[in-house]
Structure 1
Amino acid sequence: MGIDNRFKFAIPIYGAGYVTEADTYMGISDTDKEAFVRNNYDGRTYFKNVTYPTFWVNGTNDAHFPMTMTNQSCAEMKVPSKIRYDVRMAHGENIPMKLNEIYTFADYVLMGGDALTTFDTPKINGNIASVTYKSKYKISSAQLCYTLDNGTWNVRNWNTTSATVSGNTISANIPIGAKTIYFNATDSRGLMTTSVYRSRLSFNKQ
């Protein structure tokens, strides 16, 4: 991505940029090595050059690519991006192949199909979280996904609670003690996408 712009779209699954900052074995603590990898090999160096739509797919507890990497990579995009965070999605080659959202996104770009639901950045007001969305299809269900844990991302426990859909806004009460939250929404086709996540440190930054 960002090196060869002949592609029509990209769907990064698990992997992302900011690999050197991973809190698993892929992270690099040596400053000189980290700088070399970041400046020459890491995706973040090239994301600014991407000219095509992207769809980022990851799980909340992936052992190799924590959500921080996906969130930061998506933020680097200067082109339309969508995200799908799946609670506790396992890591493996066959698992993403079963996600209909991937093929719908490809059809949308290549064949003019209908788009997946798009989210703005969630907003926090007291103990209420909300997010606006765009979808051609009715939202059949929505959830606030949250974790009460800090520390290493792949061992955090994630939970879900029902969210309310009103017009083009989804909202929910933030459970007491939640450290990180994001929304998901499933449309009438049974296709799910999510918002970026918000962490407690950023709750006051609207």
Structure 2
Amino acid sequence: MIEFSRKIFSVPEQYQASGFEYPGVKALFYEGMPYNGRRTRIFAWYGVPDNVKGKVPAMMLVHGGGGTAFPDWVRLWNSRGYAALAMDTCGGVPAWFNSVYCRNPWPRHDHSGPLGWGFDKSSFSPELPPEEQWPYHAVSSVVLGHSLLRSFPEVDPARIGITGISWGGYLTCMAAGVDKRFAFAAPVYGCGFLGGASVGLANEYRTVKDNKRFERWLSMWDPSHYLPNAKMPVLWVNGTNDFAFPMDSMQDSYRLTKKRFLAVRVRMPHAHGGAGENPEEILLMADHVCKGGESPSSFKSQGMKQGAAWAKYKSPRPVKNAELNFTRALGHWTDRTWNTVPAVMNDGLVSATLPKGTTVYYFNIFDECGRVASSEHVCLGG
């Protein structure tokens, strides 16, 4: 675990970002942490809701691998009544060639910090001082962006949440443990315990040759070291077969946070765009924490009895249907086939007979809008 500079909690200097335009949002640079003895700047898009009156809640938006700061993501949250800031965490700037979600390389600017992503060959350098490595700068860029966002007169600093996708979810986990000022966090896909056997990252470093380097990286930058410090509510959004962040690593991660909510869909796709940016459960959490809306549904306890599984849930709104998701497979989490059968609902309790050969199961409940709440998954072996 690494101690971050206290400077990230101060308002960074802001600079113009000429030549970047998108309807309804403002492009800017803000001061980053020093890199290789020189000053750095971080690119960001910032937007506010139309016709702002008084102080508004806000969101920090953290892109994933292959991404950059996305202005349409900012506008999505503006349309919901939130100010929003999306920053580039890898020293790049957006330039639209084929689409806003085209792959690397994003153009770099004169004040760039280190390249990302965490296990990319250009950024995996655990032998360097921590202050010269990508995770240090990426987390710092998020927290500095939060410090800047809190300083804007139209933003209520007590009502700022954070969400991030994939590597951005990883950074969200890190930032939630480093920066206690966030009102809530919603990592999508990303989690800790990245040394797990099913984690689809860093495979080139899981060798006898590079294992010590990999372990050193994990000792500094795995979110498991930081998540116990995350005291705010955390919504964990993921799918059963995620190639990068599997269910076992996610479970070990969310169990480090006390105020947790789970939204785990069967075979949820892994992507920027609607898949990662727009799960309705994130808006529900944001409106609950930042606007005093209804709480997301959640499970409070679960167990088994005589071949049947049960779980108790709490929901402030009617639950439309419930399901038992199960697999009979073993091995790599990404490769497991999942099946779904209806579950019985009875006054805050869901239950179902476990199909023969079940190795892992969990429950999902859905409200009238299709928003999901998940129980923890249970491993039965085989």
Find the counterpart in structure 1 of residue 184 from structure 2. 9
Find the counterpart in structure 2 of residue 150 from structure 1. 330
Q: Is the 8 A contact 2:194 2:222 kept in 1?
A: yes
Correspondence 1:160 to 2:340: yes
Q: Is the 8 A contact 1:149 1:156 kept in 2?
A: yes
Look up the SS of the partner of 1:12 in the other structure.
Answer: strand
Q: Distance in 2 between matches of 1:29 and 1:8?
A: 40
Find the counterpart in structure 2 of residue 81 from structure 1. 260
Find the counterpart in structure 2 of residue 187 from structure 1. 367
Quote the RMSD (CA, aligned, Å). 1.7
Q: Distance in 1 between matches of 2:304 and 2:228?
A: 29
Find the counterpart in structure 1 of residue 4 from structure 2. none
Cα deviation, residue 183, structure 1: 0.2
Cα deviation, residue 140, structure 1: 0.8
The TM-score, its normalising length taken from structure 2, stands at: 0.50
Q: Compared with structure 1, are the counterparts of its residues 105 and 196 closer, same or farther at alpha carbon in structure 2 (3 Å cutoff)?
A: same
Cα deviation, residue 192, structure 1: 1.1
- Superposed CA deviations along residues 72-94 of structure 1, whole A, max 9, x for unmatched, are 101111x3100111101111011
- Superposed CA deviations along residues 1-33 of structure 1, whole A, max 9, x for unmatched, are 211112111101001000111423436465534
Amino acid at match of 2:373: T
- State the number of aligned residues: 201
Find the counterpart in structure 2 of residue 42 from structure 1. 222
Look up the SS of the partner of 2:177 in the other structure.
Answer: coil
Q: 2:377 aligns with which of 194, 197, 201?
A: 197
Amino acid at match of 1:81: R
Cα deviation, residue 98, structure 1: 3.0
Task: Give 4+ residue runs of structure 1 displaced > 6 Å after superposition.
Answer: none
Q: Aligned runs of 1:69-148 on 2, under 5 Å?
A: 69-77=249-257, 79-94=258-273, 95-148=275-328
Amino acid at match of 1:189: C
Q: Aligned runs of 1:59-74 on 2, under 5 Å?
A: 59-74=239-254
Q: Is the 8 A contact 1:26 1:64 kept in 2?
A: no
Larger displacement relative to structure 2 (120-129 or 21-30): 21-30
Find the counterpart in structure 1 of residue 202 from structure 2. 26
Amino acid at match of 2:193: Y
Q: Is the 8 A contact 2:301 2:313 kept in 1?
A: no
